Amino acid sequence: MSALLEVTGLRISVGSKRSRTTVVQDVELALDAGETLGVVGESGSGKSMSGLAVLDLLPPVARVDEGTAIFEGRDLFAMTKGERRRLRATLMKMVFQDPMTSLNPVMRVGAQLRESVMAQGGVSRQDASRQAVELLDRVGIPDPAARARRYPHEFSGGMRQRVMIAMAVAARPKLLIADEPTTALDVTVQSQVVELVKDLQDQFGTAVIWITHDLALLAGVADRVAVMYAGRVVESATSESIYRAPRHPYTIGLLESIPAPHFPHQSALPAIPGAPPDPRDVKAGCPFADRCSFVIAHCRTEMPPLAVSQRGDRAACWVQPQVTMPSGKDL
Ligand SMILES: Nc1ncnc2c1ncn2[C@@H]1O[C@H](COP(=O)(O)OP(=O)(O)OP(=O)(O)O)[C@@H](O)[C@H]1O
């Protein structure tokens, strides 16, 4: 099966004409139709930038310098702005942490949903209105017919998040990029939103890229996980490999920092000491070396490539420690 989306060699820089800083490089991401890819990493690791680049929604200071993003056989980066806009109206959608970035504050929720439904074409206005109410019902909004006549500000945070997801799936996109949409929500609502996206994905066959700093959130959700650090993908593997036999020390550190009750036998909570490097301060070798407990001399002189294992998993580490997470870490 060929990939729905395959990003290779993605490099993004920010800045002005005179000085630019590379914030994302050599990023490779791939997912098949209907699949879920988790993209995880600390703040500033380049997760959002990578997602925004796929949708042509980068902020004005940022630009794609290199790379391809093949979506259904065509390179997104070679398309015109108009073509990309049309794709965003139908085939690929993004949901953000702040729902108000994708909801129109002065338009009734039902009308916004109706427009999204109509974007796929071939749907009458009346039918689209009916589908809008159905979608509100599907995402768990009580009394959906009455709620459709309300404005976004009349919804609570969690409910607004659901409306935004309903908006995103209304046009039956093939790809949904969810950029930390649950971060501002409490844990219960968070897992409800995750379940909701999973349900909608099963129903509509949508592929989902979940961007998050929370590796625990992706357990049981993602088919594959790409771990990003300092603008690069440092490990990319099936969920099973990531959670049971991670090969990159950063992934191991992230797993070890997941607090109980996920890992009940874990007494202390060893966060990864140190901080990621400043992207303006480029040094030779692996960017994780200074924080890594497995570091060897070679790490400080040469950047390890994203090497492919026999199982098709990838890790950018010279050492690739053989660690098996206890079965309790099977979240
Ligand atoms: N508008 C901007 N102008 C300049 N630099 C930016 C801008 N937005 C992000 N960056 C820089 O780009 C890099 C990647 O940021 P990005 O937002 O993609 O990271 P992230 O992993 O998504 O982090 P977060 O979880 O905080 O959203 C960071 O070094 C960040 O400082």
pLDDT in tens, 187-200: 777 777 788 888 88
Quick one: which of 48, 43, 129, 27 has its CA closest to 95?
48
The finding on whether 44 has its CB within 6 A of some atom of ligand 1 is yes
The finding on whether 53 has its CB within 6 A of some atom of ligand 1 is no
Tokens standing for 176? Answer: 């949904």
Between these two residues, 260 and 117, which has the higher pLDDT value?
Answer: 117
Tokens standing for 306? Answer: 């994203």
**In the structure, what pLDDT confidence band is assigned to residue 331 with cuts at 50, 70 and 90?**
low
- Under a CB-based contact definition with an 8 Å cutoff, are residues 155 and 189 in contact? no
Helix (H) or strand (E) holding 144: helix 144-147
- For ligand 1, atom 2, which residue shows the shortest CA distance? 61
Residue with tokens 């004409």: 17
Distance CA 96, CA 317 (A): 32
- In this predicted model, what pLDDT tens digit does every residue of 208-225 receive, in sequence order? 999 998 888 888 889 999
- Under a CB-based contact definition with an 8 Å cutoff, are residues 292 and 34 in contact? no
The predicted structure's pLDDT at residue 218:
87
The predicted structure's pLDDT at residue 202:
87
**Closest-lying ligand 1 atom to the alpha carbon of residue 48:** 22
Q: What is the DSSP string of 85-132?
A: HHHHHTTEEEE-SSGGGTS-TTS-HHHHHHHHHHHTSS--HHHHHHHH
Distance CA 266, CA 273 (A): 18
Residue of 13, 40, 47, 55 to mutate, ligand 1, most atoms within 8 A of C-beta: 47
* 226 has a pLDDT exceeding 70: yes
The predicted structure's pLDDT at residue 1:
57
- For ligand 1, atom 12, which residue shows the shortest CA distance? 23
- In this predicted model, what pLDDT tens digit does every residue of 291-300 receive, in sequence order? 999 999 999 9
Residue with tokens 């099963």: 202
The predicted structure's pLDDT at residue 170:
86
Quick one: which of 71, 19, 34, 64 has its CA closest to 46?
64
Centre of ligand 1 from the C-alpha of residue 46, in Å: 6
The finding on whether 10 has its CB within 6 A of some atom of ligand 1 is no
- In this predicted model, what pLDDT tens digit does every residue of 23-80 receive, in sequence order? 999 999 999 999 999 999 998 999 999 999 999 999 999 999 999 999 999 999 999 9
Centre of ligand 1 from the C-alpha of residue 45, in Å: 7
Tokens standing for 330? Answer: 């099977």
Centre of ligand 1 from the C-alpha of residue 48, in Å: 7
**Closest-lying ligand 1 atom to the alpha carbon of residue 49:** 18
Distances (CA, A) of 93 to 11, 46, 90, 116, 175: 22, 19, 7, 11, 6
Read off the pLDDT of each residue in 84-100 and give the average, rounded to a whole number: 89
* 328 has a pLDDT exceeding 50: no
The predicted structure's pLDDT at residue 183:
76
The predicted structure's pLDDT at residue 250:
95
**Closest-lying ligand 1 atom to the alpha carbon of residue 231:** 14
Count of helices and strands (H, E) across the chain = 10, 12
Centre of ligand 1 from the C-alpha of residue 175, in Å: 22
Residue of 11, 27, 49 to mutate, ligand 1, most atoms within 8 A of C-beta: 49
* 103 has a pLDDT exceeding 80: yes
Strand partners for 10: 27
Quick one: which of 202, 198, 200 has its CA closest to 210?
198
- In this predicted model, what pLDDT tens digit does every residue of 119-174 receive, in sequence order? 878 899 999 999 999 999 988 899 999 999 999 999 988 889 889 988 988 888 99
Q: What are phi and psi of 312, to 5 degrees?
A: 90, 5
The finding on whether 43 has its CB within 6 A of some atom of ligand 1 is yes
**In the structure, what pLDDT confidence band is assigned to residue 231 with cuts at 50, 70 and 90?**
very high
Centre of ligand 1 from the C-alpha of residue 132, in Å: 34
Centre of ligand 1 from the C-alpha of residue 311, in Å: 32
Quick one: which of 15, 14, 23 has its CA closest to 41?
23
- In this predicted model, what pLDDT tens digit does every residue of 238-260 receive, in sequence order? 999 999 999 999 999 999 888 75
- In this predicted model, what pLDDT tens digit does every residue of 262-302 receive, in sequence order? 554 444 556 788 888 988 888 899 999 999 999 999 999 99
Angle formed by the axes of helices 125-138 and 157-170, nearest 10°: 140
* 98 has a pLDDT exceeding 60: yes
Distance CA 274, CA 196 (A): 36
